[in-house]
Each structure stands twice: as C-alpha cells, then as structure tokens.
Amino acid sequence: MTNTSLNSQVLYRIGVVSKLSSVPVPTLRVWQTRYNAFSPTTTQGHHRLYNEEDLQKATLLKSLTGQGHGISLIAGLPTAQLKQLLKTGTGTASSPDQPPALANGAWVVIGASLASRLQSETFSSARLGQALHIQQVWPELSEASGAQLDQAPDVLMVSVNGLNDSTADQILALSQQLAARQTVVLYSFGQLNAIARLGRASFLVHREPLNDLALNTIIQSARPPLYAPSWVIESLATPIPSRQFSDAVLQRVANIPSQVMCECPRHVAELIGQLAQFEDYSRDCLNESPKDAELHRQLNTMAASARALFEKALHMVATHEGISLAESA
C-alpha cells in the first residue's frame, strides 16, 4: 500500500482494535495468522495497522463467535456477508464446540429515555444491527421497587438525573433484589460519596451525556460473564471431600530429604498446602456485592476441587515411595 493511500484512511494499531471491538489482542492475532481474517498493512517500523473494515470485521466476528459460529468457518467471509449472517442468523454452519450466545444477555433498563434510545433503529445500526435483549423496562427507579422477575438479568442499567446517597441506596437494593450479574449506572449530576459507594460495589458508573460510540463501549464492557465449560459447571455441583491431610503431615512430607527420592512428594505436598490456603482465603474474602459473592464461591469450589485432586496424587506418590501419611508417623 502506498503512503498516499495510507494517509487517506484512518488506521489503527492492534491495541486500539482490541479496545474498540472488545476482542483480546491474542485472539486478534490468532484470527489473523491462523485464519487470515485480516490483511493489515505493515509500517517501516514493522507495526501492523488495521483499517475501518478490519475493525468492523473484528466486531462482527466477535458477535458471531459468541452466537456459536466457528471462527474457522466465518473468518474468510467478506464483511457484507458477515453482516447478513448476523442479521439473519443463517448461512454458515456452527461449530459444536462453541458456547451458546452470550453477547447480549438479558437486560433490565431503568429510564424511559434510555430504553427508547437503546431500542432505536439508529442505535441498533451503530451496533451493527445487533439489538439488545431488553427483558424489562421501568420508566423510573421508584417503579421497580419490590419488583420480582422470573429470570435474574445479566445487566441492570439505570439512568438517573441526580445521584445522591438516597438514590445510591435504591440502586444497590434493586441490584441485590434482582440478583443482577452486572449493574451500570448513568447519571447527569452526582455526589462524590454516592459515586464512590457504587464503584466499591463493582458497578460501572458513567456520567452523561454520552454519544453512541461511548454508550456502545459501555455496553460491550458490561457484557455477561464468560461461558463456563461443562467441567466447571459439573465441579460446582459435585460435593467436594474435606481436607485429608493436616498442615503437619504436609510439612513432614515436604521436609523429607530429597537425596533418597525424587522431588515429587515435596512439590505435591506444597501444592496441596497452597491450594488449601487459597481455599480458605476465597471462602473468607470480602464480598461487597452478589457478583463478588458468586465469584468467590466459584473460586473456593475450584480451589477445593484442585486440592482434592492433588490429595489423590499424594496418595499415589506416597504409595510408590513408601511414605507414611499418618498423623503420628
């Protein structure tokens, strides 16, 4: 590409494309090198530069892979065909290994003007035709008090003119009441204390007015949690045995002289001790919101699962090496 043509269009580095499309940089590199999804230009300093079409294609691929389409099947398609596929949901086979669509999730919106804007054709067009799945709309915050929904929303989005301590209390209560996985608050005027309280609760808080690009970026950052593989879901539902070995037993195994055997007993004992410590830490970690509590519950369960698995490994190693795991040994 000539310097003249380079100067005639807007070009982006990969980090900017990643930020605007919400696609991680490593993923963009894989899509380019393995699947030839993009054809960036290269500067004399060996920096890859992406154009507007590349940015648009990255955003489309992000949405389509979120819907279950295999990247290997769609990476080579032109942008126009990707738009049509996103609009109709047909035209390309899906990969069975891809997770179900979680790009939008279910949204609850507080604020009549905000809801109208999100559902408008103009804003949908700015989002490449991908409309939000709005589960419920309440024109005012007070109208949602005491409400119950059949399904907990992935995102609660609240628009208020003034944000003070009283309003923050209402938003915090509503988020907990609905068990929203993420809460976004847009305000026109706000008190610092109220803004800080919502921030400590892990809410996304932004001041209006916002243009469509900024609002769309916020929506992308508020997307639902990532898909959990089946083995994670199964592990969360499976009872986990309590600890088999005390700290004293693990320390004794770790201190066995390495001259007479390999280092595996020591390494496995140390891993069990570290996992047990993190298991306790994640159970007792500070939870300031329902989302925090759910995260730490999953971390605690995964740490306990890993600890139980390595305890089985220690049994195998101890049997092989003739090491006693009894408390009084």
Domain ranges of the chain: 3-88, 106-221, 230-321
Query: How far is the C-alpha of 285 from the C-alpha of 269, rounded, in Å?
Result: 24
Query: How far is the C-alpha of 250 from the C-alpha of 100, rounded, in Å?
Result: 42
Query: How far is the C-alpha of 29 from the C-alpha of 37, rounded, in Å?
Result: 9
Task: Tell me what pLDDT residue 5 has.
Answer: 45
Q: How much is the pTM?
A: 0.41
Distance of CA 325 to the CA centre of its chain: 41
Task: Tell me what pLDDT residue 35 has.
Answer: 79
Task: Tell me what pLDDT residue 129 has.
Answer: 45
Query: How far is the C-alpha of 327 from the C-alpha of 154, rounded, in Å?
Result: 48
Q: What number of residues does the chain have?
A: 329
Helix or strand (DSSP H, E) at 89: none
Nearest partner of 184 among 292, 111, 265, 120, judged by Cα: 111
Residues with Cβ within 8 Å of 20's Cβ and at least 6 positions away in sequence, in order, are 12, 55, 59, 217
Sign of the torsion formed by the C-alpha atoms of 306, 308, 310 and 313: negative
Task: Tell me what pLDDT residue 287 has.
Answer: 62
Task: Tell me what pLDDT residue 165 has.
Answer: 93
- Asked if CATH classification 2.130.10.10 holds for the domain at 106-221, the reply, yes or no, is no
R_g of the chain, CA atoms, integer Å: 26
One digit per residue, the tens of pLDDT, for the chain of length 329 reads 444 444 556 788 888 888 888 888 878 887 888 778 888 888 777 788 999 999 999 998 888 877 767 777 788 888 888 888 877 654 444 443 333 333 346 788 999 888 888 877 777 665 544 556 777 888 898 888 877 777 778 889 999 999 999 999 999 999 888 888 889 999 999 999 999 999 888 888 999 988 888 888 788 777 654 444 545 545 555 566 788 888 888 888 888 775 545 678 888 889 998 988 888 887 777 565 556 666 777 788 888 888 888 998 888 888 887 888 888 76
Nearest partner of 174 among 186, 183, 164, judged by Cα: 183
Task: Tell me what pLDDT residue 308 has.
Answer: 86
Q: Is 323 within 8 Å of 265 (Cβ atoms)?
A: yes
Task: Tell me what pLDDT residue 6 has.
Answer: 46
In terms of DSSP bridges, do strands 48-49 and 41-42 run parallel, antiparallel, or are they unpaired? antiparallel
Residue with tokens 């995964």: 302
Task: Tell me what pLDDT residue 195 has.
Answer: 92
CA atoms within 13 A on the CB side of 219: 29
Distance of CA 32 to the CA centre of its chain: 23
φ/ψ region of 51 (left if φ > 0, alpha if ψ in -120 to 50, else beta) reads beta
Query: How far is the C-alpha of 157 from the C-alpha of 180, rounded, in Å?
Result: 10
Q: What CATH class is the domain 3-88? A: mainly alpha
